[in-house]
Structure 1
C-alpha cells in the first residue's frame, strides 16, 4: 500500500505514473472525485471490478464509470440525445451522473442491463489520471454502509491493504452527492436528487429541445 501526496500539480507525474501502473495490473487506486474520495479499478477488467466489490464488502454491483470528458461518452454509449449532450456541455466536469445505453460491442461486463452510469469528476488530479487511463470503474472509497471518505486517512481506515495506491489530495469538502439522471428515457428523469438541482437540469433540457421557447 502506497500513499502519494498529489496536492501539488507539479508532483502529478510520479504520482500518476504509480497509479497508472497499479491500475494496469488490476490493482485498486483511491483518488479524489470532487467532494469525496473514490476507489477505482480498470473498467475493462472483470477481475479488477470483482476486487472493487470485495474491497467494498458487498456483492457485485455495476459501479459508475468515470471519464475525462464528454468526448469519451461516444466510445462507451449509444443513442445519446442532443439535449443530453447539452447537459454534458454545461455540467461536466461536475456532480452529474448520467445513465445511458452502453455500446453493445464493449468488452466489459459493467452493463448487464444494457445501460451504464457515467460521470466526469470535478477534480483536476482525477481528470489528469483519467486522461492517461481512460474510463475507470469508480465507487465511494468506503465499506458498504460506511461513511463517505473526505480524507485519505478515512479511506485507509475502511479499505486498508485492499487498495494499492492512495492519491492524497488533502481534505475534500464532503458536499452533496451527484445528481443521477436516467437519459435512456424521453424526457430524461432524475433517479436521485443531488448537487445539480432539477430546475437547472430542466432549463437546459427544455432549451435544447425548444420546449422552453415562448
Structure 2
C-alpha cells in the first residue's frame, strides 16, 4: 500500500515538474518573442530615421548646389563688369596722357619751358600704372572668390569677398587721387604755360594811313 502511494506521488510530482518546466519554457519563448519583436521594431525605426536624415541631407546638398551655382553666376557677371570698367578707365587715362603729351610737345616747340609739366605727366603715369596693376589684382581676387563659392568653408568665401571689397574701396580712392592730381597739378601747369606763351607772343604794330 505504501509503495503504491509512493508511486502515485512520484507520478504526480513528475507531472507537476513537467508542467512547470513546460510553462517556464513557454514563458521564456514568449519573452524572447517579445524581445525579438521589440528589436525588430527598434531596427525599423532606426532605419526610418536614417532614411529621413539622408533625405534631409540630400535636400540640403541640392539647395547648396543651387545656391552655389547662383553665387558663381553672379560673381562671374560682376567680374566681367569690372573687367569692362577697368578697360574703359585705363583707355580714358591713356587718352588723357596723350593729350597732355601733345600739349607739352606743342608748347615746347614754341619755346616754352615744359619741364614742370613733364614731371607732372610722369607722376600721373606712375599713378595710372599703379591703378591698373591694383585693378588687375582686384579682378584676380574676385576670380579666387569665384572658386571658393563651392566646395570650401563659408568662412573662407566670406573672407575672400571682404578682401575684394577692401580692394575695390582702395581703387575708388586711387581714382579720386588721380582726378585731384590732374585738377591741382597738371591743369594749373598747362594754364601757366599757356599764359606764359601769351606773354611771349609779339605784339603786332598798328599801321595807320
Bin for the TM-score computed over the shorter chain:
under 0.3
TM-score by length of 2: 0.25
TM-score by length of 1: 0.25
Q: Which has the higher contact order (CA 8 A, sep 6+)?
A: 1
Greater share of strand residues, 1 or 2?
A: 1
